[in-house]
Structure 1
Amino acid sequence: MPEAVQQSGTGQHNASEAMLATLLHLMRRAREAASAASLRFVLVNETHALAPYRQAALWTQGQGVEALSGVSAVERQAPYVHWLDRWCKQADAAEAGTATLDLRMLSGSDEWAGWQEWLPPFLAVIRLPAREGYPGGRLVLAREQPFKSAELSLLQEWCDAWGQAYAASRPVGWWPRWRARQRTDQRRRWLWRGGVALAVVAIACVPVRLSVLAPAELVPLEPAIIRAPMDGIIDAIQVSPNQRVEAEQPLFAFDRVSLASRLEVAQRSLTTIQAEYRRNAQRALFDPESKAELAVLQSQIAERQVEVEYLSELNARSQVDSPQAGIVLFEDAGELVGRPVVTGERIMVVADEHRTQIEAWVSPADMVSLPVGSRVRLYLSADPVHPVSARVSYVAHLAEQRPDGQYAYRVRAQLDPDAAEPGPRVGLKGTAKLEGDRVTLIYWIVRRPWSALRGWIGL
């Protein structure tokens, strides 16, 4: 008898060691699993070494049946999967823990109706608690013999270890991972937030130049405006557009037919009055009445002389010469010939083609403070690679209406004196970048949206 008892105790001890070794082996397999799918396979298939069973299923909250023993993939539309998923949801709602079930005792329940088609009579249901990264679920094992309490204890220990490994292996989004890291180190989280806030404030306070873009062109610097010196009709244009002329070179002439006839009439009238004056001066020596008429004739002679001088001056003005050297700027000679003009009307411009300045038009919505001397860069459409540098010399106080109907402020800027000579020619167009005062970066960003918002809500 003592030998039999000793052999029995040794057998139980060896069985316990074997089960513990199996448990350790399964835990190592869980740690070495490369993915969540591998862990699910280990749970439903290799748990058989710890507690033999015929069928095993893994059910996860929100995902349903995720793994079945003996198959590589779960067919979601299979009747067995539907039935098992419905029962696990009901059991999870009832908050049942780890337990063994004898389905023969539950045959009268609607919940277990038709179990004979799918399962053996004895079940072991091990609850898998929810963890971070895993919502929780159940492991269902089924066989023909009842499960022992020792087996349930080992199964629960194994499932706890498996749950930790499975929660760590599941992919987690960047937001939960970031939140988890923040919770693990409260001090680092606040330091990080403070650093971000300081960085944002520092960047927002970086000084930048407030700048605007405006259409612009090169206009003459100190041009000679050629205006009509008299009322009349232009008879001939003696130059062509953009032609280079020298000082005192003829530009255009008025029609002299009417002017010449008026001058001839005035000259003959003056000659007649002068002859009459001489005749009366000779008669005045003997006739007192003729002497009295001399004063009247003298005033008439002076009047005629003024008229002749005026018409002679007009006749000289009928030929208009260039006051300086440069190029002649006007639209078309055909439009000027034969056109009646009035005194002071602008006809053409004579300017040095390389002495230019920038004229920009800034819309009222874009207008900023542009003190004299502010920097300007003109990006010409003909040569956008080489900008033209200049400094603001004049800013209009009132907006003017442009040919397109829009109102804008006229801004003129003189080219930098160290610019390469000769400079770009008159008439080239492009886009000017005008730089104003220094402001903070946050003001530069929100200036236009804030202005539009205030105009919309009226605050």
Structure 2
Amino acid sequence: MNAVADSPLLVLLELGHRARAAEDVEELAFLLVNDTHLLWPYRQAALWFDGSGVRALSGVVQPERNVPYVQWLDRVFRHLCRASLPAGPCGAQDLPADLADEWQDWLPAHALWLPLPARADCPEFPPGGLLLAGEEACDEQTRVLLGEWLATWSHAWRARFKSPVFSLHLLRQRLAKWRDGQNKREWWKRRHLQLALGVFLLLFFPVRLTVLAQGELVPARPAMIRAPLDGVIGKFAVSPNEKVKSGQLLFSFDEAPITTRLEVARQTLATAETEYRQFAQMALVDGKSKEQLAGLLGKIGEKRSELEFLSSQFQRSQVTAPEDGIVIFDDPSEWIGRPVQTGERVMKLAKPDDVEIEAWVPIADAIPLAEGSPVSLYLAASPFSSVSGRLRYLNHDATPRPDGSYAYRARATLAKNTENRIGLKGTAKLSGDWVPLVYWLVRRPLAVIRQYLAV
């Protein structure tokens, strides 16, 4: 240690090592006011920061804020900071009269003032200073060493605090530096004006006003296969999504009730015809029997009409395909044994190449869409390619959806045939008119805000 004490530079290196090895800021503050004595033999030292007051005193572990000495030091430090006194010797002559009168009561005649400027990148480093007071004046060489030691200590102090990634003060400081550098150029070369002009032009760049909606590939003009009579479906002759030919059997009703009624009608007709023949023979000898023949003929006609009707019903219980296509319906097991009424839809018959896009536009996204507007459907089964089309129509009235929401139904004709099957779902993008980019950005926020404003 004696070799270190003989060389001020080695002392400076040793103090820097101690500052880097300090555990916390309290140890750093204690180190500054006590171990700095190795560079200059002062009698008293005090460390002060704006906002927190006297932070450390030489020879004291924790300063007491309410004692007169500490309160006097706090006022002295405030005056020195406000006066922006540079680093160097100071004394009672640098203080106002009310503070200078007490100097000899608290401090020796010679003192050295070392300010600590605030750091913008470290909020925990406000303006402050270090005051060293001794019996002898500090020479110029020692003041240089003390300044270097204070710079090393300040760096170690800031390292104990994590610099904020973002703060308003840092932002204002960087903007001010950037603005000052730009103001030195001609106005048309200033970067902030160029950026402002670029943003302004970009906001008025024309873009397509588009909306996204749930979409699906559906048959364009399907043939609706409905129940031709009241009854119970007996069996299906086809499976869902099966290709069928014209005249091919699709499904049939339970024939037992119809067959029973048809057999009863035949027996009733045969009985009526037998009765008529009997009365016709009796009419040859009995005049009264001749009078009943007209009523029996009417009864026979009624029964024959009923038999013909039931025969046609029996034939219609076998439902066939009116044309070639693909049958689209639910699980057959849900239909078998289920009673249906006349006109109830059972299935759809669609042509494989007769496909179009169906989309449901939400009420909040009902932008103006003209006939022929571009429509693209991005299927969930093939997200990297789209099915393109042109808008055929958009409903004027919103229609309730199965999920309880309301939306506008839109249909679009495909631009070309697609290999994707009917029923695939995805997201449809409907494109409207060209609008400025700024309108595209603020349309939805303004619509939401406008719903809550009555002006």
TM-score when normalising by structure 1: 0.64
Q: Distance in 1 between matches of 2:131 and 2:56?
A: 20
TM (normalized to structure 2)?
0.64
Equivalent of residue 432 in structure 2, options 414, 418, 436: 436
Structure 1 position 54, deviation (Å): 11
Please give the secondary structure, in 2, of the residue aligned with 1:357: strand
Q: Structure 2: how far apart are the matches of 1:388 and 1:140? A: 82
Aligned to 1:313: 312
Contact 2:92 2:103 in 1 (8 A): no
Contact 2:226 2:347 survives alignment (8 Å): yes
C-alpha contact (below 8 Å) 2:187/2:193 kept by paired residues = no
SS at match of 1:365: helix
Match of 2:34 in 1: none
Q: What amino acid maps onto 1:307 in structure 2?
A: E
Query: How far apart, CA to CA, are the structure 2 residues paired with 1:270 and 1:284?
Result: 21
Q: Following TM superposition, by how much is the alpha carbon of 1:346 offset from its aligned partner in structure 2, in angstroms?
A: 1.0
Structure 2 unmatched ranges of 5 or more: 1-39, 43-47, 64-69, 116-126, 140-169
Deviation at 1:260, TM superposition (A): 2.1
User: Which string of whole-angstrom CA distances, capped at 9 and with x for unpartnered residues, describes residues 6-59 of structure 1?
Assistant: xxxxxxxxxxxxxxxxxxxxxxxxxxxxxxxxxxxxxxxxxxxxxxx999xxxx
Q: Could you list the runs of 5+ residues in structure 1 that have no partner in the other structure?
A: 1-52, 56-60, 65-75, 128-134, 148-171
Give the corresponding residue for 1:237: 236
Q: Is the 8 A contact 1:220 1:426 kept in 2?
A: yes
Give the drift of 1:367. Answer: 1.5
Change (3 A) 1:249 1:205: same
* Conserved? CA contact 2:225–2:348, under 8 Å: yes
Q: CA deviation at 1:187?
A: 6.4
Q: Between Structure 1 and Structure 2, whose CA radius of gyration is higher?
A: 1
**1:108-141: CA deviation from partner (whole Å, max 9, x where unpaired):** 831354543xxxx6789999xxxxxxx9x99999
Cα offsets for 1:390-448 (capped at 9, x unmatched): 1111211211211111111111112113x45xx20011111111111111111111100
Bigger shift: residues 185-194 or 291-300: 185-194
Letter paired with 2:428? A
- Distance, in Å, in 1 between the alignment partners of 2:57 and 2:114 is 23
Aligned length: 365
Offset at residue 78 of structure 1 (A): 5.8
Q: What is the RMSD computed on CA atoms of the aligned residues?
A: 4.9
1:448 aligns with 2:444: yes
- State the alpha-carbon separation in 1 of the partners of residues 425 and 334 from structure 2: 25
- Per the alignment, residue 176 of structure 2 pairs with 176
Following the alignment from structure 1 to structure 2, what is the Cα–Cα distance between the partners of residues 199 and 326? Answer: 57
Q: In the alignment, residue 454 of structure 1 is paired with which amino acid?
A: R
Change (3 A) 1:292 1:188: same
One-letter amino acid matched to 1:316: Q
Q: Secondary structure at the match of 1:414?
A: strand
| Pairwise CA distance, 1:270 | 3.4
Alignment equivalent of 2:454, drawn from 449, 453, 458: 458
CA distance in 2, matches of 1:250, 1:139: 107
Contact map agreement 1:54 1:141 (CA 8 A) in 2: no
Deviations 1:337-373 (A, max 9, x none): 1111110111112223443221111111111112221
Amino acid at match of 2:213: A
Question: Structure 2 CA distance, aligned partners of 1:102 and 1:267?
Answer: 137
Distance change (3 Å), C-alpha of 1:88 and 1:335: closer
Deviates more, 1:400-409 or 1:193-202: 193-202
Aligned-residue identity in percent: 42
8 A Cα contact 1:102 1:122, kept in partner = no
Matches for 1:114-263 after TM superposition, within 5 Å = 114-116=106-108, 173-181=173-181, 185=184, 188=187, 196-263=195-262
The answer to whether the 8 Å contact 1:354/1:425 transfers is no
Give the counterpart letter for 1:90 in structure 2: H
Q: Separation in 1 of the partners of 2:90 and 2:287?
A: 163
Determine the C-alpha separation between the residues in 1 that align with 2:321 and 2:403. 33
Q: Name the CA shift for 1:216/1:101 in 2 (closer, same or farther; >3 Å).
A: closer
Distance 1:230-1:111 versus aligned 2 partners, 3 A rule: same
Matched residue type, 2:230? D
Contact 2:111–2:131 (CA under 8 A) maintained in structure 1? no
Equivalent residues of 1:234, 1:253 under 8 A apart: yes
- For 2:305 and 2:434, the matched residues in 1 are separated by 64
Pair 1:401-2:400 in alignment: yes
Tell me if the contact between 2:394 and 2:411 (Cα under 8 Å) persists in the aligned partners. Answer: yes
CA distance in 2, matches of 1:270, 1:99: 138
From the superposition, tell whether residues 108 and 311 of structure 1 become closer, same or farther in structure 2 (CA, over 3 Å): closer
Whole-angstrom CA distance in 2 between matches of 1:113 and 1:252: 116
State whether residues 266 and 307 of structure 2, in contact with CA within 8 Å, keep that contact through their aligned partners in structure 1.
yes
